[in-house]
């Protein structure tokens, strides 16, 4: 018998509410929290960025998380099909499904560069693992990582990696292959299983390393940096950055939550679930900041160090801490896991759509989508060496200095995700059948009014203003 393997027909969905929460938290918590958040907070001057970021999470992110999961569950298909179904049932134009298409495209593009960055993580798993093995062999299990190296040598390893296209591409290939393999194994046997094992382990280690950083690093300076807002640093561009980061980190507007929502059973109460996802994600981002910046200041690195920042600070910490080789090894493995539980949600969106559209087996769809994303990612890897002069959107002054990976990251984060979020807000707030929406969310009358106000008014106005002032001056001048 030929399996149709459609999102509805071929999948059992999540086995329980907690399985869904872990999968969704797994999708949310990833490189966005540990790599992108500290990078952007560092570049944008710290406190003011963090404050605006948290504001966006609470006022826009949380209501939109609920909106997207709700839409997915109500529609019960891939991201495009779900929106189409809800539009049809609400008696409005099915062209709204375009918002699903935009989201899937965003997720697909994010996947392509995400996998490259995750490859950097694998590089450090390998380096720290080798160190740990050496430590065990020499009988000193508690050795620090990168023993005998100077700080410059340790931080310089990132430059060595960037200069080596073959290595970057192989690591990217390994990560993409792992992502494809899990998605090909199915929602229940792949995605859910991966999340239920990996996420709890990740949380425990994160807390331990943050405590270590607090005790040994320059915690006071880090706290001051992250939580003392200097409003002179706030510009429309920083607001745009913070909005994009809030959306990125919560996995909004990239097809992931819409798609995962379709696998949630009807008896799950969505509102508290959305709250838990947003809470967990934000906590991890703040913890990651509190883990990284004490080390940044203790060893005198530049907080505005850009995408290489965490790959330079964490190895320095692991060099100095007792049993650093072991902790470093385990920690990079966990970042790898966190990245993996996110990348599978990025791949699942477009894959579910391809399955529904073509009737292909899940495996074939996952492989084809993953390979195309891999090919785009290769250009990002080459952007650090052979194509280091390439500036894909160099004519646009906000992207004038940005290499291929950063352009893809910036374009999706600053433009595509806000647009995707805007469309969700307009659709859910104004077009989708209000009674259906209310029943799906399970909110009480009062909470529903608050939520609806945020989705229908606050989100569209805020996102439009941010887009207008963040992007238009850049276009004009
Ligand atoms: N939220 C993920 C992270 O922070 C990235 C992601 C974005 C995953 C969009 C799915 C959809 O790493």
82: confidence class by pLDDT, cuts 50, 70, 90:
very high
Instruction: Write the DSSP symbol of residue 144.
Output: P
CB 49 within 8 A of CB 241: yes
CA of 30 to the centre of ligand 1 (A): 6
In a domain, 324, yes or no: yes
How many domains does the chain fold into?
1
Q: What pLDDT is recorded for position 477?
A: 53
Assess if residue 231 is contained within a domain: yes
175 alpha carbon – ligand 1 mean position (Å) = 15
Structural domain range at position 318: 7-476
Pocket test for ligand 1, best of 118, 247, 249 (most atoms within 8 A of CB): 249
Res 141 pLDDT > 50: yes
Q: Does the pLDDT of residue 9 top 60, yes or no?
A: no
Cα separation, 404 vs 168, in Å, equals: 14
Q: Does 98 have pLDDT greater than 70?
A: yes
pLDDT of 328 strictly over 90: no
The pLDDT score that the predictor gives to residue 26 is 94
5 has pLDDT over 50: no
Which residue's alpha carbon is nearest to atom 7 within ligand 1? 251
* pLDDT value at residue 454: 98
Q: Say how many C-beta atoms besides its own lie within 10 A of residue 257's C-beta.
A: 32
In angstroms, the CA 392 to CA 433 distance is 42
- Please tell me the predicted confidence (pLDDT) of residue 194: 82
Residue nearest to atom 6 of ligand 1 (CA): 251
Output b/e per residue, 229-244; b: 16+ Cβ within 10 A. beeeebebbbbbbbbb
Residue 429, Cβ density class (10 Å: 0-12 exposed, 13-18 middle, ≥19 buried): buried
Q: What are phi and psi of 423, to 5 degrees?
A: -65, -40
How far away, in angstroms, is 225 Cα from ligand 1 center? 25
Helix (H, G, I), strand (E, B) or coil at 133: helix
pLDDT, the chain, mean: 92
What's 260's domain CATH number?
1.20.1740
CA of 271 to the centre of ligand 1 (A): 20
- Which residue has the CA at smallest separation from atom 10 of ligand 1? 251
Would you say 427 and 96 are in contact if contact means Cβ atoms under 8 Å apart?
A: yes
Is the Cα dihedral 447, 449, 452, 454 positive or negative?
negative
Tell me which residue has its CA closest to atom 4 in ligand 1: 32
The whole-angstrom separation of Cα 111 and Cα 444 is 37
The residue whose C-alpha atom lies closest to atom 11 belonging to ligand 1 is: 251
CA 252–ligand 1 middle distance (angstroms): 8
CA of 18 to the centre of ligand 1 (A): 19
Which of 25, 26, 28 has the most ligand 1 atoms within 8 A of CB, as the residue to mutate? 28
Report how far apart, in Å, the C-alpha atoms of 327 and of each of 44, 291, 332, 340 are. 30, 14, 9, 20
CA–centroid distance for 447 within its chain = 28
Overall average pLDDT of the 278-292 stretch: 94
The Å distance, Cα 278 to ligand 1 centre, comes to 12
Q: What is the mean pLDDT of residues 428-440?
A: 97
The predicted pLDDT at position 476 comes to 59
Could you tell me the maximum CA-CA distance found in the chain, to the nearest angstrom?
71
pLDDT at 189: 87
Answer for the pair 99, 420: CB distance below 8 angstroms, yes or no. yes
**CA–CA dist 167, 374 (Å, integer):** 14
Would you state the pLDDT for residue 364?
A: 98
Residue 386: count of CB within 10 angstroms of its CB: 10
Mean pLDDT of 86-90: 98
- The SS3 call for residue 5 is coil
Atom of ligand 1 nearest to the CA of 338: 12
The answer to which of 146-150, 277-281, 370-374, 420-424 has the lowest mean pLDDT is: 146-150
Residue 145's pLDDT band (cuts 50, 70, 90): confident
Q: Give which of 171, 320, 195 is closest to 263, Cα–Cα.
A: 195
Is 1 among the domain residues?
Answer: no
Q: How far is the CA of 131 from the centre of ligand 1 (A)?
A: 30
Least confident of 104-113, 121-130, 275-284, 319-328: 319-328
Decide: 34 and 310 in contact? Cβ < 8 Å.
Answer: yes
Give pLDDT tens digits for 192-224: 888 888 888 888 888 888 887 778 778 999 999
Name the residue of 345, 347, 412 whose CB sits within 8 Å of the most ligand 1 atoms, as the mutation to test its pocket: 345
Amino acid 11: pLDDT: 63
Phi-psi region of 300 (alpha: psi -120 to 50; beta: other; left: phi over 0): left
> Which atom of ligand 1 is nearest to 253's Cα?
9
Report the residue among 342, 421, 424 best suited for mutation to probe ligand 1: largest number of ligand atoms under 8 A from its CB: 342
Residue carrying structure tokens 């049993």: 323
pLDDT digits (tens, 9 = 90+) for 41-60: 999 989 999 999 999 999 99
Angle between helices 324-358 and 309-320 (to 10 degrees): 150
Confidence check: pLDDT of 229 > 60: yes
Distance between alpha carbon 326 and the CA centroid of its chain, in Å?
26
Which of 23, 24, 27, 108 to mutate to test ligand 1, by most ligand atoms within 8 A of the CB atom? 27
Structure tokens at 281: 């994600």
Q: Which residues contact 373 (CB under 8 A, 6 or more apart)?
A: 108, 111, 112, 115, 176, 347
Distance CA 38, CA 46 (A): 9
Residue 7 has pLDDT above 60, yes or no: no
Taking the model in full, what pTM does it have? 0.94
- Tell me, yes or no, whether 126 lies in a domain: yes
Retrieve residue 331's tokens: 């920690």
Q: Quick one: pLDDT at residue 474?
A: 64
The alpha carbon of residue 168 and the mean position of all alpha carbons in its chain are separated, in whole angstroms, by 20
Buried b (16+ CB within 10 A) or exposed e, 437-452: bbebbbbeeeebeebb
The vertex-432 CA angle with 429 and 437, nearest 5°, equals 80
| Residues with a CB atom less than 6 Å from ligand 1 | 27-28, 30-33, 107, 110, 248-249, 251, 254, 256, 342, 345-346
- State yes or no: pLDDT of 2 exceeds 70: no
Q: Read off the tokens for 218.
A: 């320059």
- 159-171 in b/e burial notation, b at 16+ Cβ within 10 A? eebbebbebbbeb
């Amino acid at each position: 018998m030929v399996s149709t393997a459609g999102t509805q027909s071929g999948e059992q969905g999540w086995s329980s509410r907690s399985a869904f929460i872990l999968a969704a938290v797994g999708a949310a918590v990833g490189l966005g929290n540990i790599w992108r958040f500290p990078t952007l907070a560092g570049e944008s001057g710290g406190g003011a960025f963090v404050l605006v970021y948290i504001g966006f999470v609470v006022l826009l992110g949380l209501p939109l998380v609920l909106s997207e999961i709700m839409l997915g569950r109500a529609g019960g298909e891939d991201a495009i099909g779900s929106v189409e179904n809800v539009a049809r049932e609400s008696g409005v134009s099915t062209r709204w499904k375009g918002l699903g298409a935009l989201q899937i495209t965003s997720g697909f593009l994010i996947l392509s560069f995400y996998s490259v960055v995750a490859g950097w993580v694998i590089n450090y798993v390998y380096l720290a693992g080798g160190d740990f093995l050496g430590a065990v062999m020499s009988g000193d299990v508690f050795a620090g990582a990168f023993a005998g190296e100077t700080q410059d040598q340790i931080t310089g390893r990132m430059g060595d990696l960037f200069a080596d296209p073959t290595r970057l591409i192989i690591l990217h290939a390994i990560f993409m292959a792992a992502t494809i393999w899990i998605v090909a194994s199915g929602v229940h046997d792949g995605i859910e299983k991966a999340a239920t094992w990996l996420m709890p382990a990740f949380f425990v280690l994160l807390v331990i390393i943050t405590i270590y950083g607090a005790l040994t690093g320059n915690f006071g300076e880090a706290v001051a940096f992250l939580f003392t807002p200097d409003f002179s640093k706030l510009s429309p561009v920083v607001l745009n950055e913070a909005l994009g980061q809030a959306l990125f980190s919560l996995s909004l507007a990239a097809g992931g939550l819409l798609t995962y929502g379709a696998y949630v059973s009807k008896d799950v109460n969505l509102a508290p679930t959305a709250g838990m996802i947003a809470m967990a994600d934000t906590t991890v981002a703040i913890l990651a900041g509190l883990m990284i910046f004490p080390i940044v200041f203790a060893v005198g690195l530049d907080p505005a160090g850009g995408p290489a920042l965490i790959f330079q600070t964490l190895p320095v910490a692991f060099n100095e801490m007792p049993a650093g080789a072991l902790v470093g090894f385990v920690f990079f493995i966990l970042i790898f896991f966190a990245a993996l539980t996110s990348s599978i949600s990025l791949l699942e969106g477009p894959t579910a759509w391809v399955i529904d559209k073509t009737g292909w087996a899940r495996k074939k769809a996952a492989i084809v989508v993953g390979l195309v994303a891999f090919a785009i990612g290769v250009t990002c890897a080459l952007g650090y060496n052979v194509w280091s002069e390439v500036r894909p959107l160099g004519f646009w002054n906000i992207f004038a200095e940005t290499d291929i990976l950063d352009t893809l990251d910036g374009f999706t984060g600053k433009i595509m995700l806000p647009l995707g979020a805007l469309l969700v807000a307009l659709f859910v707030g104004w077009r989708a059948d209000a009674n259906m929406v209310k029943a799906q969310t399970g909110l009480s009358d009062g909470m529903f009014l608050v939520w609806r106000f945020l989705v229908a008014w606050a989100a569209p106005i805020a996102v439009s203003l941010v887009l207008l002032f963040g992007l238009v001056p850049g276009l004009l001048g």
